Amino acid sequence: MKKIAVLGSTGSIGTQTLEVVRANPDLQVAALAAGSNVEKMERQIREFRPALACMWTTEAAEDLRQRVRDIDVKIVAGMEGLLEIAVFPESQVLVTAIVGMIGIRPTIAAIRAGKDIALANKETLVTAGHIIMPLAGECGVRILPVDSEHSAIFQSLNGEPADRIEKILLTASGGPFRGRNWEQLKEIRVEDALKHPNWVMGQKITIDSATLVNKGLEVMEAKWLFGVGLDRIQVVVHPQSIIHSAVQYVDGAVIAQLGMPDMKLPIQYALFYPDRRYMDGKRVDLFELGSLTFEKPDTDTFPGLALAYRAARLGGSMPTVYNAANEKAVALFLERKIEYLQIPELIGEAMESHRPIPDPGVEAVLEAEAETYEFIAGRMKR
Ligand code: NAD
Ligand code: MG
């Protein structure tokens, strides 16, 4: 029996994680955490019977407590609650399916407590990878990628040492606006940006996919996970999302992982690694696909990707500024307070105004986040 805890259980990755649990009787849910969806959390508690559950606000936690009075489950709230879930003694693996930098503290706490991390929460690695990766090494825990591209790279590596990697080929669907130019992107509405061609995901990552910021974050995620320099990470636009990424080795061999776009595969792979289990679902049919195509990313139209390389090269606290400015800009776009094209603009401006702090600790990372939020708020007042 393997026991897991899930941060962000009511979201896209969270619910798919629970689907994987449902299909594998030897997986058990020890603890769950979510933001505000009390109804969904109640249903999850009734089905999966965790011993511990967390809601972000105390009101939501109280509401939940009343709803599940008949069940033996402890309900906690806030950051303290998230930390309690992260280190919950009964669980062996923490699935980080929460969105944003709020995942940093719980992830660090879980690593210190010796839990393996099934990591979906890329923002945490982008901003605190320099803290998390060495800590995981010291504590002897594994960081198992859930992001489909990184899982594909992990599967393609299959234990090969990092110095055999010549290049990582990080595939990207190109998002819903692939092929358009800057002029055509002026009129983009929220609804257009929320229509991803191949994946159904949470709102933030869907917008990130439409700006290529998601790929930018993934470049940094790959750098930390696989210890490969930025000049060895090449983004390849592959609109069919069948090749989930590949590794080019020093002898020229390219090993890739292919599959239908379905996040349950990387989730299940992370949970059972190094075992590979049966999974139900549609298989790749090469005859049906006929052809797979590839393009260079258009970084002029989608500057979010080039800005990510720039932030990663500058390093220190700059990736935090890139990420925090994006988080805020995406929220403003979803509230219809800014235009689509202002997202990369605001990221660029926030980076311009920041002098990176080298090797920031957790406090400094969170300070850079807060400063960036303030910068954007000030910028909106003008
Ligand atoms: P989502 O918005 O669907 O779900 C987010 C979850 O986090 C929800 O359960 C929400 O309640 C919870 N949450 C948010 N704020 C919280 C808080 N303060 N306290 C407790 N819980 C909180 O997001 P998602 O699409 O599932 O993405 C989750 C993470 O996985 C992101 O980092 C994303 O980049 C990454 N990811 C997602 C996909 C995908 O297919 N959805 C693929 C690759 C990577
Ligand atoms: Mg991805």
pLDDT digits (tens, 9 = 90+) for 132-147: 999 999 999 999 999 9
Chosen domain end from 110, 145, 180: 145
Ligand 1 centroid–CA 98 distance in Å is: 4
Ligand sitting nearest the alpha carbon of 215: 2
Q: Are residues 273 and 322 in the same domain?
A: no
Domain of residue 351: give its range: 315-382
Percent of the chain predicted with pLDDT > 90 = 98
Quick check: is 310 in a domain? no
Q: Is the CB of 99 under 6 A from ligand 1?
A: yes
Helices 148-157 and 264-272: crossing angle in degrees, nearest 10, is: 50
Ligand 1 binding pocket includes 123 (Cβ within 6 Å): yes
- 34 close to 60: Cβ distance less than 8 angstroms: no
179 with 270, same domain?
yes
Predicted pLDDT at 54 = 98
| Same domain, residue pair 80 and 218 | no
Q: Is any ligand 1 atom within 6 A of the Cβ of residue 263? A: yes
Q: Rounded to the nearest 10 degrees, what angle do helices 213-226 and 148-157 cross at? A: 30
| CB atoms inside a 10 Å sphere around CB 369 | 24
Helix (H, G, I), strand (E, B) or coil at 169: strand
pLDDT digits (tens, 9 = 90+) for 364-381: 999 999 999 999 999 998
Buried b (16+ CB within 10 A) or exposed e, 283-314: eeeeeeeeeeeeeebbbebbbbbbbbbbbbeb
Question: What pLDDT score does 186 carry?
Answer: 92
27, 87: one domain: yes
Whether pLDDT at 53 is above 90: yes
Three-state secondary-structure class, residue 32: strand
Quote the ligand 1 centre to 160 CA distance (angstroms): 30
> SS3 for 55?
strand
Asked if residue 8 has its Cβ within 6 Å of ligand 1, the reply is yes
Residue 77 is predicted with a pLDDT of 98
Do 329 and 344 belong to one domain? yes
- Report if residue 307 sits inside a domain: no
First-residue to last-residue Cα distance in the chain: 57
Residue-level pLDDT at 382:
78
Q: What is the mean pLDDT of residues 201-210?
A: 96
Report if residue 23 sits inside a domain. yes
**Domain annotation covers residue 306:** no
pLDDT band at 312 (very low <50, low <70, confident <90, very high): very high
C-alpha–C-alpha distance, residues 220 and 228, integer Å: 10
DSSP state of 69: T
Q: Is residue 305 part of a domain?
A: no
State mean pLDDT over 310-316.
98
pLDDT for the residue 376? 98
Average confidence (pLDDT) over 255-268 = 98
Tell me the per-residue pLDDT of 167-203, one tens digit each, with 9 for 90 and over: 999 999 999 999 999 999 998 999 999 999 898 999 9
Among the listed residues 204, 207, 274, the one whose alpha carbon sits nearest the alpha carbon of residue 11: 204
| Same domain (yes/no): 206, 231 | yes
Burial class of residue 145 (count of CB atoms within 10 Å of its CB; 0-12, 13-18, 19+): buried
Q: Residue range 336-360: average pLDDT?
A: 97
> 226-255 pLDDT, tens per residue?
999 999 999 999 999 999 999 999 999 999
- Any atom of ligand 1 within 6 Å of the Cβ of 327: no
Average pLDDT, the chain: 97
The conformation of residue 182, written as its DSSP 8-state character, comes to G
3-state secondary structure of 302: coil
Q: Rounded distance, CA 314 to CA 197, Å?
A: 33
Does one domain contain both 183 and 249? yes
Q: Does 69 score more than 90 pLDDT? A: yes
Average pLDDT over residues 35-59: 98
Q: What CATH number does the domain containing 40 carry?
A: 3.40.50.720
Domain tally, the chain: 3
Residue among 293, 319, 168, 179 nearest 235 (CA) = 168
Cα–ligand 1 centroid distance for 11 (angstroms): 5
Mean per-residue pLDDT, 335-361? 97
Chosen domain end from 275, 300, 325 = 300
> Is the predicted pLDDT of residue 351 greater than 90, yes or no?
yes
| Domain-ending residue, one of 145, 176, 204 | 145
> How far is ligand 1, taken at its centre, from the CA of residue 21, in Å?
18
